[in-house]
């Protein structure tokens, strides 16, 4: 075991894949004694100390870079030892990392390398463990093309060279058990890439990060933080699902300090608000770690860690649990479509395009300047699916809204001719991404059957919400982007509604082709698009508010689940600003307080009605009464229940005149108004008059009976049979 100068240099540089071969204690052969070696680039002296402290032997500095060595003539090695490093003004005793076998072996990473490991974070990353009777941290990082990797962190005073990592062979991973590392220590990987560029990288599997500009990973306890177990519910398509979408940092501010609320402060206020508003779920814009505030979390650098901005992972878990305790589910935005090009994170991780495609026609997002994942690489699939599973197990979240699915499905998304590479069949589908999404949905649903999976997908790609077993992608729901755009176009053109009536009715042609969510999200109130209330394009505030009330009533009564972005529920006038809180002072004005009350009541009716939600995706439960009244700008339809008394008649008047007419109804009897958006409680005038009606036995609108009643201008009335 004589070491050459080149081997010493390789240990110091980390270029050797097995530093344990040379470092630590090694036999020199039968009856020739032992050699002890250590690296400490900053030490003046290094000694080896026996377990009983009775023997202290000074090592010789054999390389000015900080390589120390001593030969021990004893025929018996130390059963246990430490090193004592002496510096100019202090000394430090440490257990030798190179005296330990690997905590994880290459065979432990087989499923990770095959792309089927749903819990790679149980092996990769910084995992506190007890190994060979010693407490420490196992570090494993995937970087198959790296020439060397050193660990550096609080635990070695950020020494860049004294902790080279060992290769785990064909797994492409490097590992090191560090006995003096502990929970709370910051660390990074110092990676010499295949391109000979040295980069300091954060841990892709880190469970916690420090703020920029440091961006270091932090060793974290990996135990589950939220033991809350959601009770089993009925099939997702039959549930009432009304989602409050929100950005944690701009919902409310701490007034005295002019800053966003922390996770703990949110846990004291948000659950009560969601309960008051009767939402079934809250959806958090990506809570994963991200460096650039203006990305709102959509450019993720820490897929396993809640952002540091509002507190610790433990405090994020408290927020999740506090929301669930009032009966509201927690959904998070999850971003497997792309990642930022920041050098400290995933980009060019080992000096090659490891997580991303090498060719920019595949590997760089044309619109956002971010990197596109290489879903054909097995380890990338394991990494992403592991991220999804970890949020379910660690924090107990109830599901995902998967961002930018369309950009994943199409190779030519946002690209011009010549800027993309066809698949092996010559088409524009990203076949690898399609298989990844199927695998993702199958994985989470097999592990957690009650978890929701919602796709933000803006095209007509088929079978988004069909199970993989029949060729679908396996999502539970899909945002209905077509309906959203058509409906907002209609409401934004009050002077031309008679000529664009089809924008309200066309959606029924495809409404039941997928399990849709009718969503007015953050995307509709940013980047110069203005607020929802200002999209109504009317001069008077009372008129704009009346239109917004009718829009929400249409959204809630239209088939499909519901999503509404924060601030819209009370008519925020300004466009959403991620750096400022919502304008809660508007609730001092009756029109805004009335709109908020309407949304709460719509949610309450939707969630408590016996069949309203269960019929969301049943075509035979929806029927037009009159969809042709473009001149009168009215629209009417039925939502059938299991019993006649469950049936709802929705009559909409989107004109600026009160409309009195006969409306067809399917059942005879006494009908009453369940909700009227023009009611004074909501800021309306109550101009529709009576709210109880008896049907007459004459056919109207193709229905066997009729009802005669008025609907105020710019308002919606929901009627049901008296029980």
Residue with tokens 């029924």: 508
Q: Is 678 part of a structural domain of the chain? A: yes
Range of the domain at 441: 241-337+377-608
Q: Which of 82, 86, 78, 79 is nearest to 97 (CA)?
A: 82
Instruction: Please report how the helices 590-608 and 541-557 are oriented relative to each other, as an axis angle in degrees rounded to 10.
Output: 10
pTM for this entry: 0.95
If asked whether residues 595 and 630 sit together in one domain, one would say: no
If asked whether residues 634 and 599 sit together in one domain, one would say: no
Instruction: Read off the pLDDT of residues 514-541 as tens digits, 9 standing for 90 and up.
Output: 999 999 999 999 999 999 999 998 889 9
> ∠ CA 16-17-19 to the nearest 5 degrees?
70
Q: CA distances (Å), 508 to each of 128, 502, 535, 610, in order?
A: 55, 10, 23, 23
Residues 220 and 126: their CA atoms lie apart, in Å, by 8
Q: Is 367 part of a structural domain of the chain? A: no
If asked whether residues 565 and 707 sit together in one domain, one would say: no
Q: How far is CA 430 from the centre of its chain?
A: 22
Q: Does the pLDDT of residue 234 top 60, yes or no?
A: no
- What was the pLDDT predicted at 236? 87
Question: What does the pLDDT average to over 283-295?
Answer: 96
Q: What is the mean pLDDT of the chain?
A: 94
Q: Which of 520, 511, 515, 551 is nearest to 654 (CA)?
A: 551
Terminal alpha carbon distance of the chain: 91
Dihedral over Cα of 532, 535, 540, 546: its sign: negative
- What was the pLDDT predicted at 484? 97
Residue 469 — pLDDT band, cuts 50, 70, 90? Answer: very high
Question: What does the pLDDT average to over 580-585?
Answer: 97
Question: What does the pLDDT average to over 163-172?
Answer: 95
Question: What does the pLDDT average to over 143-149?
Answer: 96
Residues 6+ apart with CB under 8 A from 418: none
Phi, psi at 234, each rounded to 5°? -70, 170
User: What is the 3 state secondary structure string of 623-676?
Assistant: EEEECCCCCCCEEEEEECCCCHHHCEEEEEECCCCCEEEEEEECCCCEEEEEEE
Q: Is 225 part of a structural domain of the chain? A: no
Q: Is 362 part of a structural domain of the chain? A: no
Instruction: Read off the pLDDT of residues 648-664 as tens digits, 9 standing for 90 and up.
Output: 999 999 999 999 999 99
- What was the pLDDT predicted at 503? 96
User: Quick one: DSSP state of residue 165?
Assistant: P
If asked whether residues 475 and 541 sit together in one domain, one would say: yes
Question: What does the pLDDT average to over 77-86?
Answer: 84
Question: What does the pLDDT average to over 248-276?
Answer: 97
Question: What does the pLDDT average to over 658-683?
Answer: 97
Residues 391 and 394: their CA atoms lie apart, in Å, by 5
Question: What does the pLDDT average to over 565-584?
Answer: 97
Q: Does the pLDDT of residue 273 top 60, yes or no?
A: yes
38: domain CATH number?
2.60.40.10
Q: Is 686 part of a structural domain of the chain? A: yes
Domain endpoint, select from 73, 96, 119:
96
Q: Does the pLDDT of residue 125 top 70, yes or no?
A: yes
Q: Does the pLDDT of residue 16 top 70, yes or no?
A: yes
Dihedral over Cα of 498, 502, 505, 511: its sign: negative
> Going by DSSP bridges, is the β-strand pair 81-86/45-50 parallel, antiparallel, or unpaired?
antiparallel
If asked whether residues 33 and 182 sit together in one domain, one would say: no
Residues 37 and 60: their CA atoms lie apart, in Å, by 9
H or E stretch at 5: helix 5-13
Question: What does the pLDDT average to over 211-239?
Answer: 81
Structure tokens at 322: 């506090």
310: domain CATH number?
3.20.20.80
Count CB-CB contacts under 10 A for residue 428.
15
Active-site pick, 350, 403, 524, 626: 403
Higher pLDDT, 35 or 186: 186
Residue 694 — pLDDT band, cuts 50, 70, 90? Answer: very high
If asked whether residues 490 and 384 sit together in one domain, one would say: yes
Residues 6+ apart with CB under 8 A from 330: 281, 282, 284, 320, 323, 324, 396, 397, 398
Residues 278 and 273: their CA atoms lie apart, in Å, by 9
Instruction: Read off the pLDDT of residues 586-609 as tens digits, 9 standing for 90 and up.
Output: 999 999 999 999 999 999 999 999
Question: What does the pLDDT average to over 278-290?
Answer: 98
If asked whether residues 184 and 307 sit together in one domain, one would say: no
- What was the pLDDT predicted at 567? 98
Query: What number of helices (H) and strands (E) belong to the chain?
Result: 12, 38
- What was the pLDDT predicted at 233? 52
Q: Is 368 part of a structural domain of the chain? A: no
Q: Which of 230, 239, 297 is nearest to 454 (CA)?
A: 239
Instruction: Read off the pLDDT of residues 177-206 as tens digits, 9 standing for 90 and up.
Output: 999 999 999 999 999 999 999 999 999 999
- % of the chain exceeding 70 in pLDDT: 98
Q: Which of 268, 183, 189, 265 is nearest to 218 (CA)?
A: 183
Domain endpoint, select from 185, 218, 251:
218
Structure tokens at 497: 């509604």
Q: Is 296 part of a structural domain of the chain? A: yes
Question: What does the pLDDT average to over 102-107?
Answer: 96
SS3 285: coil
User: Quick one: DSSP state of residue 142?
Assistant: E
Residue 100 — pLDDT band, cuts 50, 70, 90? Answer: very high
Looking at the structure of the chain, the number of domains it has is: 4
Question: What does the pLDDT average to over 132-157?
Answer: 96
If asked whether residues 9 and 120 sit together in one domain, one would say: no
Q: Does the pLDDT of residue 232 top 60, yes or no?
A: no
Question: What does the pLDDT average to over 637-641?
Answer: 96
If asked whether residues 18 and 64 sit together in one domain, one would say: yes
SS3 217: strand
DSSP letter string over 45-73?
A: EEEEEETTS--EEEPEEEETTTEEEEEE-
403 in catalytic set: yes
H or E stretch at 443: helix 431-447
Q: CA distances (Å), 24 to each of 31, 81, 420, in order?
A: 19, 10, 52
If asked whether residues 155 and 77 sit together in one domain, one would say: no
If asked whether residues 163 and 128 sit together in one domain, one would say: yes
Q: Is 228 part of a structural domain of the chain? A: no
If asked whether residues 82 and 116 sit together in one domain, one would say: no
Domain endpoint, select from 96, 129, 161:
96
175 in catalytic set: no
Structure tokens at 383: 């990494």
Q: Does the pLDDT of residue 231 top 80, yes or no?
A: no
Residues 6+ apart with CB under 8 A from 297: 247, 285, 286, 287, 288, 290, 307, 333, 335
> Going by DSSP bridges, is the β-strand pair 329-334/302-306 parallel, antiparallel, or unpaired?
unpaired
- % of the chain exceeding 90 in pLDDT: 86
- 159 upstream amide cis, omega within 30 of 0: no
- What was the pLDDT predicted at 227? 65
Cβ-based burial of 258 (10 A; exposed 0-12, middle 13-18, buried ≥19):
exposed
Active-site pick, 289, 456, 486, 646: 456
Instruction: Read off the pLDDT of residues 382-418 as tens digits, 9 standing for 90 and up.
Output: 999 999 999 999 999 999 999 999 999 999 999 999 9
Instruction: Please report how the helices 541-557 and 481-491 are oriented relative to each other, as an axis angle in degrees rounded to 10.
Output: 150
């Amino acid at each position: 075991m004589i070491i050459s100068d080149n081997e010493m240099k390789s240990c110091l540089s980390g270029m050797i894949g097995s530093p344990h071969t040379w470092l630590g204690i090694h036999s020199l052969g039968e009856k020739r004694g032992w050699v002890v070696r250590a690296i400490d680039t900053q030490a003046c002296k290094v000694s080896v100390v026996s377990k009983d402290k009775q023997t202290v032997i000074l090592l010789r500095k054999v390389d000015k870079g900080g390589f120390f060595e001593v030969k021990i003539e004893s025929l018996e090695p130390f059963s246990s030892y430490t090193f004592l490093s002496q510096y100019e003004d202090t000394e430090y005793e440490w257990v030798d990392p190179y005296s330990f076998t690997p905590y994880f072996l290459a065979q432990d990473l087989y499923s990770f390398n095959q792309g089927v490991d749903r819990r790679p974070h149980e092996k990769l990353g910084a995992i506190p463990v007890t190994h060979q009777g010693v407490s420490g941290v196992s570090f494993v990082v995937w970087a198959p093309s790296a020439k060397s990797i050193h660990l550096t962190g609080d635990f070695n005073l950020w020494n860049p060279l004294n902790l080279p990592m060992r290769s785990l062979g064909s797994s492409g991973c490097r590992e090191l058990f560090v006995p003096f590392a502990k929970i709370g220590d910051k660390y990074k990987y110092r990676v010499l890439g295949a391109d000979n560029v040295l980069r300091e990288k954060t841990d892709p599997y880190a469970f916690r990060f420090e703020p920029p500009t440091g961006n270091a990973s932090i060793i974290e306890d990996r135990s589950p933080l939220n033991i809350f177990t959601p009770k089993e519910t009925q099939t997702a398509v039959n549930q009432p699902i009304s989602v409050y979408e929100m950005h944690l940092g701009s919902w409310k501010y701490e007034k005295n300090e002019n800053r966003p609320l922390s996770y703990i402060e949110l846990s004291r206020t948000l659950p009560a608000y969601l309960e008051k508003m009767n939402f079934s779920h809250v959806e958090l814009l990506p809570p994963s770690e991200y460096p650039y505030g203006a990305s709102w979390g959509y450019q993720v650098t820490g897929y396993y860690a809640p952002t540091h901005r509002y507190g610790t992972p433990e405090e994020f878990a408290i927020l999740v649990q506090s929301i669930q305790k009032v009966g509201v589910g927690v959904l998070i935005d999850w971003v497997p479509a792309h990642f930022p090009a920041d050098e400290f994170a995933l980009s060019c991780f080992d000096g090659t395009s490891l997580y991303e495609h090498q060719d920019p026609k595949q590997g760089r997002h044309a619109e956002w300047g971010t990197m596109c994942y290489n879903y054909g690489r097995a380890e990338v699939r394991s990494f992403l699916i592991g991220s999804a599973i970890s949020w379910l197990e660690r924090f107990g979240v109830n599901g995902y809204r998967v961002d930018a699915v369309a950009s994943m499905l199409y190779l030519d998304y946002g690209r011009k001719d010549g800027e993309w590479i066809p698949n092996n069949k010559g088409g524009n589908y990203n076949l690898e991404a399609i298989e990844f999404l199927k695998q993702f949905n199958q994985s989470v649903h097999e592990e957690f059957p009650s978890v929701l999976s919602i796709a933000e997908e803006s095209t007509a790609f088929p079978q988004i919400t069909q199970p993989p077993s029949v060729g679908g992608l396996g999502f539970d729901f899909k945002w209905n982007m077509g309906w959203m755009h058509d409906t907002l176009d209609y409401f934004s053109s009050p002077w031309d509604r008679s000529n664009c009536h089809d924008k309200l009715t066309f959606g029924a042609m495809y409404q039941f082709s997928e399990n849709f969510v009718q969503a007015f999200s953050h995307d509709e109130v940013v980047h110069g698009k203005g607020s929802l209330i200002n999209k109504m394009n009317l001069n008077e505030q009372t008129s704009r508010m009346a239109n917004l009330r009718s829009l929400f009533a249409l959204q809630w009564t239209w088939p499909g689940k519901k999503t509404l972005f924060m601030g819209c529920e009370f008519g925020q006038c300004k466009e959403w600003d991620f750096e400022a809180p919502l304008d809660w002072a508007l609730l001092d004005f009756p029109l805004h307080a009335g709109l908020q009350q309407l949304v709460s009541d719509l949610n309450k009716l939707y969630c408590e009605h016996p069949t309203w939600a269960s019929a969301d995706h049943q075509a035979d439960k929806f029927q037009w009464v009159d969809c042709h009244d473009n001149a009168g700008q009215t629209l009417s339809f039925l939502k059938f229940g299991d019993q006649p008394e469950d049936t709802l008649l929705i009559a909409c008047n989107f004109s600026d005149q009160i409309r009195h007419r006969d409306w067809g109804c399917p059942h005879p009897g006494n009908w009453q108004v369940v909700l009227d958006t023009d009611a004074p409680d909501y800021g309306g005038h109550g101009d529709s008059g009576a709210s109880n009606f008896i049907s007459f036995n004459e056919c109207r609108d193709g229905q066997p009976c009729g009802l005669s009643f008025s609907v105020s201008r710019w308002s919606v009335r929901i009627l049901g049979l008296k029980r």
